[in-house]
Amino acid sequence: MNSVAQYFSDIFKAIRSLWKGLMVTGYYFVHPKQIVTQQYPENRKTLEMFDRFKGEVILVHDTDNTHKCNGCGICQLNCPNGSIEIITDSAVNEDGKSERIIDKHIYHLSMCTFCGLCVKSCPSNALAFSQEFEHAVFDRQKLTKVLNQPGSKIKKEPKVPKPAPAPAPTPVTEEVPNPAN
């Protein structure tokens, strides 16, 4: 007798669960939400990705086309699969000290897993994610990018030393004729 009661109890629980699911579906059928699905190929020009979207890694440039990257290599060390490669050089600054400058900041998009460790570990906040997501190419070499684009002021621009200030003029004293002579 106990198994028959359990059988009908299970049927009742299943019908109740089905009814709850149909109630939720019916509610959203009557109260439609804002459309979240993007009609991708048709709205390519107006498509905007979310703020937290991780596209490709970029080196943030300002309006003067300069960036904050100092070539420390921490992003290269923290990348788990080696998709970032930094080639640096050294130059002498106006103080006569040797400083590191970036020759190439290479990003291999085909190897990137978009984990974000390079962006989080950058001490100068020079790296960020862009909103680019279309990376389908026929040639894999196009997925290797140099992040410090030509024209960047940090890339091997020789620093011109400031001219030395002109010596201060010496005060001129006029000789006053002595009437006693």
The Cα–Cα gap between 100 and 92 comes to 9
Burial class (CB in 10 A: 0-12, 13-18, 19+), 111: middle
Confidence of residue 20 (pLDDT cuts 50, 70, 90): very high
Residue 90 domain boundaries: 57-146
Nearest-5° Cα angle at 57, 53 to 62? 100
- 71, pLDDT greater than 70: yes
Confidence of residue 167 (pLDDT cuts 50, 70, 90): low
Highest mean pLDDT among 24-28, 30-34, 145-149: 24-28
Confidence of residue 175 (pLDDT cuts 50, 70, 90): low
The per-residue pLDDT for range 36-48, each reduced to its tens digit, is 677 788 888 888 7
pLDDT number for residue 60: 87
Residue 80 lies in a domain: yes
Beta strands per DSSP E along 48-143: 57-59, 84-92, 98-108, 127-129
Number of domains in the chain: 1
pLDDT number for residue 55: 87
Residue 114 lies in a domain: yes
CA 123 to chain centre: 13
- 124, pLDDT greater than 70: yes
Residue 40 lies in a domain: no
Residue 104 lies in a domain: yes
Residue 158 lies in a domain: no
Residue 10 lies in a domain: no
Give the lowest-confidence range in 36-45, 57-66, 87-96, 144-153: 144-153
Residue 6 lies in a domain: no
Residue 82 lies in a domain: yes
Nearest-5° Cα angle at 124, 78 to 73? 35
Mean pLDDT calculated for residue range 5-34: 91
CATH number of the domain at 62, please. Answer: 3.30.70.3270
Mean pLDDT calculated for residue range 155-161: 41
- 176, pLDDT greater than 60: no
Q: What percentage of the chain carries pLDDT values higher than 90? A: 35
Confidence of residue 181 (pLDDT cuts 50, 70, 90): low
- 169, pLDDT greater than 80: no
Helix then strand count (H, E) for the chain reads 3, 5
Give the lowest-confidence range in 94-98, 122-126, 159-163: 159-163
